Structure 1
């Protein structure tokens, strides 16, 4: 049976393509020497397009000479900066800096920021309003942790960024989602743009934003909004399209205008799904805080980044854990709001305090802590003498691991390098660019038809004509190995969780934790244990990309109709046969979607691992950021995005074909 599958015409095509690629990869250098044709292994420099200089010149013109008649582009960016900076300064003053009068050394504080007790109480109240006292205790404990472990000031700066970036991202995403819902041509126009925004690496956002808005918190907020908004657009569009037809008909029968239908019927009906988008915006915003600190965001992100640069293990882990704790609190509260049932509205004759008891309680706590803080400084600011630190513990723990397990860790790293990473790297980096262009186009065309093949040809050609083929192959090799291992670990875990209720609970908690951790946090222990290099990058990527492989596998197994399993049992199938002959084939579409998301997360994380010594397209983007080279950053970022788009389209086509074979919609 297996032999017949391997020699089917479809399988023979893939075997022939793989054999040709392996042969050319192995003998490309010998062919170059035999024919004295350097172009076989390196794209001729005379054929390269000067796209980097074109983009850099265009950005320079945009900033210096572009005008819209009434105002210039520079004036537009300054206006945007002012619009964002005003509320940011207000929120940051309320949370971290206090309200000042005057500038520089002449500045005088006229009002302190909110007391740490008030902020913790407000967050606990949010948890209670969102769900119950259990969530209130968790949220309050998370923010109390920030104060007790000396991370309060930096955490409040980060929270100020979140409180500005999230509303802008949510509102902008909602408006674009409404436009996509109302006008199909808007959705068609936005789809490729959103694909680019979600696949272009994070560092690539920072280069043009830094060029246009300068160094500082405003530039960081702009980059954060651009990064975090796309999921809200997609969720808003799907949520509005998913409102039951009966609800829409009821609105029409009630005589709603188009505006009333949108804001009084559709959006309230779609609110639970829209809150999922809000949750995604919050988590992506927190994921961005460390990266945005490179262009002036400050806060916890800057603490982690500076600790990484100084190799301060304890300080880096403490700041990283503070981001994790804040992410857990905000994630749980936003998830609770997404499933919250409408509360009973008090009558109009009831006074304000009884109509809004929790708002009144929060206001009273703010007033009381402000007055008490004037006389008792510990009420206003958490006493420094009472702070705890785990820095020494983490330093000692890492030192103990390195001293006692250094040889074991190095042996594991050497085994992976010699048996897996280096051979795969030699294979991909040896592929001649001309054959690579042909092979990618043929493979994509075979999977998704001639349109997908043409798209792959154009996107791969863009990478080649910009002289980035070699770095692109290193990117593909690292992503490929990381996805292979993450998928090999994640799918069995997901299958186990999908078939066992207790395992589902524990595995779900583990995956929730992994998804809550900002991407940079993975780098800290990995670098401390394995130093810099491809192996460290691979470990960080696997940890970051593992979650969707587990989630989609578990979802695919749990969503199988019980009747199908019962039919297998009646037919006398063993448990192993039910798994391999029934469950896995029926879960194939979900498994492929999990593979798709694993690839996307691996690519996004790989660019961040440029900080630990990789030599791929991610490093190209990072170098462009350090040099403020807009053209180089955008070209390298687009190259990463194009690799992600090709992979996304191919895996999506395979998932679609799998659903069609199974008769699923």
Structure 2
């Protein structure tokens, strides 16, 4: 078969966070072009809108007899699973809470190290042993030093400025609590995401099973699974950790699959030629080669983990999310804005750490000195913390050195409401009455059949267009002719 006879056979890389595949697309002669599909979809919408009074109502309103009793079924299933299921005579929630506590031990240790310290109760108050958390000086200097080692001067300045912001605006306890929770969630998410991504890349059948699960995890509103998580894992940081992982894990796993599928064939051939085992080839050749796509997954993981901070505070996570939640409930806009900026700075800093470590190249001019770095880091953490036992300002940042812009922002909001309130209200009414409600009315008049058919036509148009990036650099004129 020569090139002219094969011009209708197009290799299409259909890669998305919903599904990842690499398969040939055969476009028969009878298949319309993308323009015709789009035109057909628009014609269907126009015909449905014009014929609203002529066509049957069943084409516009979903028949009640077709409604499925999913609400009752889901309630029965969840009630059976959460409240009546037993394993070895114990309720399911007892096992899940025990497992959650085991998973949350490292997170609680990190929270104690940064925020609360340790308390070992004795028989009398005098025998109670209390170990303080790390000094704020230690944490700031350690974060700055790690930033300098990982990413140089810019990251060190960013780390110092971020933690200084926490101190100056009296957000230290909340910020360190959020840092401990989110950092642990990110580490767990990266590890599980890498493992799941490699498994999906190796076994296509597992991908077919888990892809719908990932779709549900990403699209279901987080409030929908907060109640089951509360029942299974109780109220507290562990439940917040589980809810965060449910929301943030799928993008990391899919980014791993996406990066590994994009690698050229000679990368896998190189792994085989070197005699590496499958595990060695994956860890030392394939994953490093897909580094840029893995960083995209890490970025999404960090952003989604911090996006869950506020909602996780509703089930006992605390931290900066609780500060924002309290500010919203009490209409303290300024305090909420300060906490929101802190969350943003923390997200940028955590991604900066991960990105800097991932893109570092081995240097042949300087020999790595891990022992020296660990010794300096240990000195930074221990000396100010021990000195803080005798010098109170080293143990706790002086309250008189903190500031707050909450009153300023409250006055700004009041001034805007007083002087521009009518403009804001008019804008709201224009958007609501002039855009949203007419659009809702039009969609209702179009009906579910025409909208479903239009979406199907647009899907065929997108599938037809997807061949263009593959042929763009090889045969752009044939790609243009093929698409009509």
User: Which band: TM-score by shorter chain?
Assistant: 0.7 to 0.9
| Number of the residue aligned with 2:115 | 96
Indicate how the Cα distance of structure 1 residues 245 and 22 shifts in structure 2: closer, same or farther if over 3 A, else same. Answer: closer
- Where do residues 440-451 of structure 1 align in structure 2 (5 Å cutoff)? 440-449=451-460
Indicate how the Cα distance of structure 1 residues 406 and 131 shifts in structure 2: closer, same or farther if over 3 A, else same. Answer: same
| Number of the residue aligned with 2:317 | 297
The CA distance in 1 between the partners of 2:274 and 2:467, in whole Å, is: 43
Q: 1:426 aligns with which of 441, 449, 453?
A: 441
| Number of the residue aligned with 2:345 | 325
Indicate how the Cα distance of structure 1 residues 13 and 41 shifts in structure 2: closer, same or farther if over 3 A, else same. Answer: closer
Q: Give how far 1:346 is off.
A: 7.1
Indicate how the Cα distance of structure 1 residues 271 and 71 shifts in structure 2: closer, same or farther if over 3 A, else same. Answer: farther
**Do the aligned residues in 2 keep the contact of 1:293 with 1:299 (CA within 8 Å)?**
yes
**Do the aligned residues in 2 keep the contact of 1:127 with 1:133 (CA within 8 Å)?**
yes
- Where do residues 448-597 of structure 1 align in structure 2 (5 Å cutoff)? 448-449=459-460
| Number of the residue aligned with 2:18 | none
The CA distance in 2 between the partners of 1:77 and 1:263, in whole Å, is: 32
| Number of the residue aligned with 1:20 | 47
Q: Give how far 1:332 is off.
A: 2.4
4+ residue runs of structure 1 moved beyond 6 angstroms? Answer: 39-42
Q: Which runs of 5+ in 2 are unaligned?
A: 1-34, 480-484
| Number of the residue aligned with 2:71 | 52
- Where do residues 371-450 of structure 1 align in structure 2 (5 Å cutoff)? 371-431=386-446, 435-436=447-448, 438-449=449-460
Indicate how the Cα distance of structure 1 residues 12 and 110 shifts in structure 2: closer, same or farther if over 3 A, else same. Answer: closer
| Number of the residue aligned with 1:334 | 354
The CA distance in 2 between the partners of 1:266 and 1:14, in whole Å, is: 42
**Do the aligned residues in 2 keep the contact of 1:276 with 1:338 (CA within 8 Å)?**
no
| Number of the residue aligned with 2:30 | none
Determine helix, strand or coil for the equivalent of 1:298: coil
Q: 1:81 aligns with which of 88, 100, 125?
A: 100
The CA distance in 1 between the partners of 2:293 and 2:59, in whole Å, is: 52
Indicate how the Cα distance of structure 1 residues 68 and 383 shifts in structure 2: closer, same or farther if over 3 A, else same. Answer: same
Deviates most, 189-198 or 237-246: 237-246
Deviation string 1:169-205 (CA, Å, 9 cap, x unpaired) is: 1111111111112212222322232223222222223
**Do the aligned residues in 2 keep the contact of 1:206 with 1:223 (CA within 8 Å)?**
yes
Determine helix, strand or coil for the equivalent of 2:466: helix
The CA distance in 2 between the partners of 1:15 and 1:183, in whole Å, is: 40
Which has the greater radius of gyration? Answer: 2
Indicate how the Cα distance of structure 1 residues 122 and 416 shifts in structure 2: closer, same or farther if over 3 A, else same. Answer: same
Q: Give how far 1:70 is off.
A: 8.9
Indicate how the Cα distance of structure 1 residues 208 and 654 shifts in structure 2: closer, same or farther if over 3 A, else same. Answer: farther
The CA distance in 2 between the partners of 1:330 and 1:93, in whole Å, is: 20
1:149 correspondence with 2:155:
no
RMSD, matched Cα: 3.2
- Where do residues 201-240 of structure 1 align in structure 2 (5 Å cutoff)? 201-240=221-260
| Number of the residue aligned with 2:371 | 356
Instruction: Pick the structure with more helix per residue.
Output: 1
| Number of the residue aligned with 1:196 | 216
Deviation string 1:495-546 (CA, Å, 9 cap, x unpaired) is: xxxxxxxxxxxxxxxxxxxxxxxxxxxxxxxxxxxxxxxxxxxxxxxxxxxx
Indicate how the Cα distance of structure 1 residues 273 and 101 shifts in structure 2: closer, same or farther if over 3 A, else same. Answer: same
Indicate how the Cα distance of structure 1 residues 192 and 658 shifts in structure 2: closer, same or farther if over 3 A, else same. Answer: farther
Deviation string 1:615-643 (CA, Å, 9 cap, x unpaired) is: xxxxxxxxxxxxxxxxxxxxxxxxxxxxx
Q: Give how far 1:148 is off.
A: 0.7
Indicate how the Cα distance of structure 1 residues 201 and 374 shifts in structure 2: closer, same or farther if over 3 A, else same. Answer: same
Q: Give how far 1:657 is off.
A: 5.8
Q: 2:157 aligns with which of 121, 137, 143?
A: 137
| Number of the residue aligned with 2:32 | none
**Do the aligned residues in 2 keep the contact of 1:174 with 1:236 (CA within 8 Å)?**
yes
| Number of the residue aligned with 1:277 | 297
Deviates most, 199-208 or 245-254: 245-254
Q: Give how far 1:654 is off.
A: 6.4
**Do the aligned residues in 1 keep the contact of 2:170 with 2:403 (CA within 8 Å)?**
yes
| Count of residue correspondences | 440
Q: Give how far 1:308 is off.
A: 0.9
The CA distance in 2 between the partners of 1:658 and 1:17, in whole Å, is: 26
Deviation string 1:335-371 (CA, Å, 9 cap, x unpaired) is: 3233222345977xx9xxx443332221111111111
Q: Give how far 1:157 is off.
A: 1.1
Determine helix, strand or coil for the equivalent of 2:308: helix
Q: Give how far 1:100 is off.
A: 1.2
Q: Give how far 1:145 is off.
A: 0.5
Indicate how the Cα distance of structure 1 residues 102 and 357 shifts in structure 2: closer, same or farther if over 3 A, else same. Answer: same
Q: 1:653 aligns with which of 436, 446, 463?
A: 463
Q: Give how far 1:242 is off.
A: 4.1
**Do the aligned residues in 2 keep the contact of 1:274 with 1:338 (CA within 8 Å)?**
no
* Structure with bigger RCO (C-alpha 8 Å, 6+ apart): 2
Q: Which runs of 5+ in 1 are unaligned?
A: 1-7, 450-649
Q: Give how far 1:210 is off.
A: 2.3
Determine helix, strand or coil for the equivalent of 1:114: coil
Structure 1 length normalisation: TM-score? 0.60
| Number of the residue aligned with 1:267 | 287
**Do the aligned residues in 2 keep the contact of 1:447 with 1:654 (CA within 8 Å)?**
no
**Do the aligned residues in 1 keep the contact of 2:38 with 2:458 (CA within 8 Å)?**
no
| Number of the residue aligned with 1:511 | none
Q: Give how far 1:165 is off.
A: 0.9
The CA distance in 1 between the partners of 2:401 and 2:167, in whole Å, is: 9
